[in-house]
Amino acid sequence: MANAVIKAEMRTKAGKGSSRAIRRDGLIPAVVYGAKKDVTMITVDHVSIMKLLNTGSFLSTTYDIEVEGKREMVLPRDVQFHPVTDWPLHVDFLRLAQDAIIAINVSINFLNEEECPGLKEGGIINAVRYELELNCPANNIPEAIEIDLTGLELGDSIHISDVTLPKGVTPLIDDRDFTIATIATPSGLKSDEDDEDGADDAEGTDEEQSVEVEATSQKPEE
């Protein structure tokens, strides 16, 4: 799938005064760096960047930056926001080669909750991680990692070894089979089960005491 294109213009001046003037014109100052090339100072359209930010996956998506008719594949690496208005003030783009491998956080989507017996019994998804740290080819970054909950029971755990990753994608943490999520029993459900167990124990004790009393009353006098 072709990358979305971000159109940009070259800028020659840096500094706070220049950046403020750029923002007044509806643009955002930005830089493109990496791949052993000089840093390129650019401006990008504020409205276009806001639309991309609102997708929720801006920092995990590759784009083509087009400057003066030339395109380079980039990955947004940092966005600075205004502390009050939360508007983007500056964007850093990392320049990528086609065969580059990059470390990136990818979100997790849980599928088929209706086919999960543990959830039907009142369990909940206890997510240990909401994102996975992955090594991905620059031209094959998944939008999300999907995890199938079909058939999972109360108390079951999902580990990274249970997940099928796209071709060429590997976990950044490779020294252990870490947990991603569990199908947990809610505390309220546990309390109800404990109460039932306690009631059963008490009922058994009462029955035993009744039998003992009855046996004593039937014992002949000496």
Among residues 64, 53, 69, 66, the alpha carbon closest in space to that of 96 is found at 64
Q: Cα angle vertex 84, ends 81, 88, to 5°?
A: 20
Cite the beta strand spans of 83-209 per DSSP E. 88-95, 101-111, 124-127, 131-137, 144-148, 157-159, 170-171, 179-184
pLDDT in tens, 139-188: 888 889 999 999 999 999 999 999 999 999 999 999 999 999 999 998 75
The mean pLDDT value of the chain amounts to: 86
Of 190 and 182, the structure prediction assigns the larger pLDDT to 182
pLDDT at 222: 41
pTM assigned to the model: 0.69
CATH code linked to domain 4-97: 2.40.240.10
Any idea where the domains of the chain sit in the sequence?
4-97, 102-185
What's the CATH number of domain 102-185, 3.40.1390.10, 2.170.120.20, 1.10.1130.10, 3.30.565.10? 2.170.120.20
Contacts of 207 (CB under 8 A, 6+ apart): none
| DSSP category for residue 58 | G
pLDDT in tens, 8-48: 999 988 888 889 999 999 999 999 999 889 999 999 999 99
